[in-house]
Structures are given as C-alpha cells and as structure tokens.
Amino acid sequence: MAIAYEQKDTILHVENLTVAYGEKVILQNVNIVEKDTVRAGKSQGQVIAVLGRSGRGKSTLFRALTGLEKPTSGRILIPDYSKPAANGQQPAKLVQEGDVGFVNQKYTLFRHKTVYQALWFALRNTTLTKAEKDEKIMHYLQEWGLEKNKDQYPNFLSGGQRQRTAILEQLLSSGYYMVLDEPFSGLDVGNIINVKKSFELISQSHELNTILFSTHDIELAVELADSIYIIGYPQDEKGNTINVGTVLRHFDLKQMGLAWHDGLRAEHLTCVQHIKEIMLKG
Ligand SMILES: Nc1ncnc2c1ncn2[C@@H]1O[C@H](COP(=O)(O)OP(=O)(O)O)[C@@H](O)[C@H]1O
Ligand SMILES: [Mg+2]
C-alpha cells in the first residue's frame, strides 16, 4: 500500500546543467527537481540515490552540487533560508561551497581533534552561543550513540563510530544538504547497517534534510531512496551512443508506492531489474 505524502517547496533544482573539465564535456543537460516531502505526523527528509556505471559522471555531479566544480552552463538552485518567504515560497539562490556537506568514501576525520572538538569546529560558522553549541553537540552524540566516544581521537574509534562522526560533522557544518559519494563501498555488513542508520537519523531529524548518495548496489538504492536518478550515456535518433553523461531516467519511488518500506518486496525487485536494464544500455 502506498504511503500518503505531500510535496511542498522545491528544495533542489538542477537546471540544464553542463559540466566540462577543460574541453571534455562530462555531463550535459542534467535536470533534477526535488521537492520537500511532507508526511503527516512525521519528520521526513529526502533520500536521493544517483546510479550509473563507472565514469558516467556521478562524482562530477556531486562536485557541482557541493559548489566545488563550477557549471559550464546551467545552474543549481536551492532555497535561500536567510531571506523571508514570499508568497509562501523561499527565494532561490545558487548553491555555494559550504551549503552542501560532502562525505567522502574514506570518512576522513581530523587526526588531532577528538569527536567533540571536531563537531565544535563544524559549528564554527554558526551564530550559536557556546552553551547552545554544547547542547547541540551533546544532543547529537546521544542520539547517534557516540556519547562515550566524546573525548576520543579518530585512531581510537571503530569504523562505525568514525563514519557516524564524519557524517555528523558534515551535517552540523552544512545545514540541510549532504552528499555522500559511494558511502557503502568497501564496508562490511555491520558498517553498512551503521551508515543506513545514520541515513535514517538524518532523514528523521528534519523535514528539510536531504541526502544524495551514489552506489553500485542497486538493491540498496531501491531500499533506501525515495527518488533515484540514473546517469548514463544517451543515444541519438540513429541509436548511436553519445559519450556524455545525462539523466537517463528518474524513478520517483514515493509515487510508485515503493518508498519508506522495510526490506524489499517483489515490486522493489522488479524496479531493481528495470534499473539494471537501463544502466546496461547506457
Ligand atoms: N579532474 C578531472 N579532469 C578531467 N577529467 C576528469 C576529472 N575528474 C573526472 N574526470 C573524468 O570524468 C568522467 C566522469 O568521472 P566521474 O564523475 O568520476 O564518474 P563516476 O563517479 O560516475 O565514476 C570520467 O571520464 C573521468 O575520467
Ligand atoms: Mg564516482
């Protein structure tokens, strides 16, 4: 049975994005529109998966989303929460470095900062008072099961604790958006569960929280995401492949009644199969 939800303001708008490295065009005409999803009586963030074969431009898209790579043309807009809403809609602004947190595959942490110090540093650009910062950090440490690790340095943390600290650090420093490039690669089953739990915690802690992640595990993407974009090489009218990445397909799992379920049902597996076929062609 499909779960009821509403869609509110646009929270991410990628408009005709083209990204090139020098002369080499990597991504072309990428369009993405994501809206704030609202579920009655529940904080429901957005979880968006980006799938595609190697070299199709997933990491390049993420670099553009975090503001690290400037678009060759097109633009990436997010709401500007520093301005008052007009006609019930926040004005939009171009995404800038710092708006979107970026967690790399290695979950890199500062070697010389304890968990608490790293999170304190993550809040450096906020206007919170010292007491408010402390309260916020302690709240998250408790919620994320890291209270006991508060004064530990990265070398003394387990893999799961490191991952949670790195994710939390980005969450605190960036606000609502977070990009994770292949966060599940090379993790054992236990740590995959840890990262999945962090996704849940982020998603449930604020309605505007928006996670974008890439993975080669299609089943995991269908299990976790409520929206999936497939990046790949399109074909021209003659059926020749164009070697520039773009969005080949978008699956809105909410609309399909496949979002927010525990585990995979037959309909989910059909969707996985469908995605595989599209990816193999592009
Ligand atoms: N800094 C760079 N300079 C030139 N080419 C790059 C650079 N980074 C990535 N590329 C190329 O861009 C293409 C897309 O890479 P990437 O975005 O990493 O794909 P994916 O993450 O889907 O594997 C590849 O052909 C890659 O070689
Ligand atoms: Mg990549």
- End-to-end Cα spacing for the chain: 32
**Cβ of 52 less than 6 Å from ligand 1:** yes
Q: Express each pLDDT in 180-234 by its tens digit.
A: 999 999 899 998 999 999 999 999 989 999 999 999 999 999 999 999 999 999 9
Atom 8 of ligand 1, nearest CA residue = 60
pLDDT, tens digit, for every residue of 268-278? 999 999 999 99
Give the phi and the psi of residue 113 in degrees, each rounded to 5. Answer: -120, 140
- Tens digit of each residue's pLDDT (9 = 90 or more) over 102-153: 998 888 899 999 999 999 999 998 899 999 999 999 999 999 999 999 999 9
pLDDT, tens only, 83-108: 999 888 899 999 999 999 999 888 88
pLDDT at 105: 82
Q: Is the CB of 54 under 6 A from ligand 1?
A: yes
User: Ligand 1 in contact with 26 (CB < 6 A)?
Assistant: yes
Using the atom order of ligand 1, give the atom closest to the CA of residue 27: 14
d(CA 123, CA 94): 22
Q: By the 8 A CB rule, do 38 and 209 touch?
A: no
Ligand 1 pocket, residue 57 CB under 6 Å: yes
Q: State the closest ligand 1 atom to the C-alpha of 214, by its place in the atom list counted from 1.
A: 21
Q: Report the alpha-carbon distance of residue 83 to residue 98 in Å, rounded.
A: 17
Contacts 24+ apart (CB under 8 A), 40-44: 40/4, 42/204, 43/203, 43/204, 43/205, 43/206, 43/207, 44/5, 44/203, 44/204, 44/207, 44/260
Residue whose CA is closest, atom 26 of ligand 1?
55
Q: How far is the CA of 57 from the centre of ligand 1 (A)?
A: 6
> Residue of the nearest CA to atom 7 in ligand 1?
21
Q: Looking at 62-162, which runs of residues are DSSP E strands?
A: 73-79, 92-94, 100-103
The predicted model gives 56-72 an average pLDDT of 96
Domain architecture of the chain: domains with CATH: 6-99+176-281 (3.40.50.300), 109-174 (no CATH)
To test the pocket of ligand 1, the residue of 17, 54, 58, 60 to mutate (highest count of ligand atoms within 8 Å of its CB) is 60
